[in-house]
Homo-oligomer: A and B are copies of this chain.
Amino acid sequence: MSYALGMSGVKSRREQYSEATRAALLAAAARRFAEHGFAGTALEDVAADIQATRGAVYHHFANKTALFRAVHEQAETAMLKRVEAAAAVHADDVLAAAGAALEEFLDCCCEPEYGRLVWQEAPLALGWPEWKASEEKYAFGMIEQTINALMDAGAMPALPAATMARAVFQLLGGAGIELAMTAEPDKIRVKDEYLQVLGYMLGAGPAEPDGPAGPAGLA
């Protein structure tokens, strides 16, 4: 029963240091994983970025996969927070909220630390089943919720909601990867084109090329 300080919320110096290095490791790993991929990053380098050794990594995380898992969850929760904040602005309008959430999500995907990590490396690093289970908790759950809201509001016909959500999910993911890999000057254009196309597919009405909104007015 040592370290009673921790129980009362006050952190001892040791704990503070430990958490600091853990956070630093997470940050360094996020950068490395996003830039060089999961297989392409050696734990040695991650540790070196922190002026530490692999011993530190293996002290804080069970193995390379566990480290990635932590990085991944961190990225997902950060994304969720941003998207929920964006949607919360339009608390009264379901469609507007969905549109805002969509755009904020695409913005998140523009940043390689989210786009590459979540949509490229994660399925590999965690394995497809775990990745899918994870997405079930984050992006996917949010999407399905929105889809159901849209169906209830009559803005979308009643189709198998789960499959529909999966399709939208994949669609957003593809847009995410594409955006993450697009060179900076083209990002705005590509993002707009995706908003158009997504609006058409989800709004499910013939959209005018110069007025991207389908009947749902999602975009």
Q: Least Cβ distance of A123 to chain B in Å?
A: 7
Partner of A159, one of B200, B204, B205: B200
Contact A181 B129 (CB under 8 A): yes
Determine, out of A12-20, A25-33, A84-92, A166-174, the stretch whose residues face the partner at the interface: A166-174
Contact A174 B177 (CB under 8 A): no
Q: Is A44 an interface residue (CB 8 A)?
A: no
Residues of B within 8 A of A200 (CB): 157, 159, 204
Partner of A209, one of B158, B205, B206: B158
Contact A157 B120 (CB under 8 A): no
Q: Is A175 an interface residue (CB 8 A)?
A: yes
**Once bound together, how far apart are the Cα atoms of A120 and B39, in whole Å?**
15
Residues of B within 8 A of A173 (CB): 170, 174
Interface of chain A residues 129 through 175 with chain B (CB within 8 A): 129, 132, 157-160, 162-164, 166-167, 169-171, 173-175
Q: Least Cβ distance of A180 to chain B in Å?
A: 9
Determine, out of A1-9, A98-106, A188-196, the stretch whose residues face the partner at the interface: A188-196
Q: Least Cβ distance of A205 to chain B in Å?
A: 7
Known contacts: A128-B177, A167-B198. The answer to whether A160 contacts B205 by CB under 8 A is: no
Q: Least Cβ distance of A108 to chain B in Å?
A: 17
Contact B209 A159 (CB under 8 A): yes
Residues of B within 8 A of A196 (CB): 159-160, 163
Partner of A167, one of B124, B129, B171, B206: B171
Pairs A–B under 8 Å by Cβ, sample size 25 = A129-B181, A157-B206, A157-B207, A157-B208, A158-B209, A159-B197, A160-B197, A162-B193, A163-B190, A163-B194, A163-B196, A164-B197, A166-B174, A167-B171, A167-B194, A167-B198, A167-B201, A170-B173, A171-B174, A173-B174, A174-B174, A200-B204, A201-B204, A204-B204, A204-B205
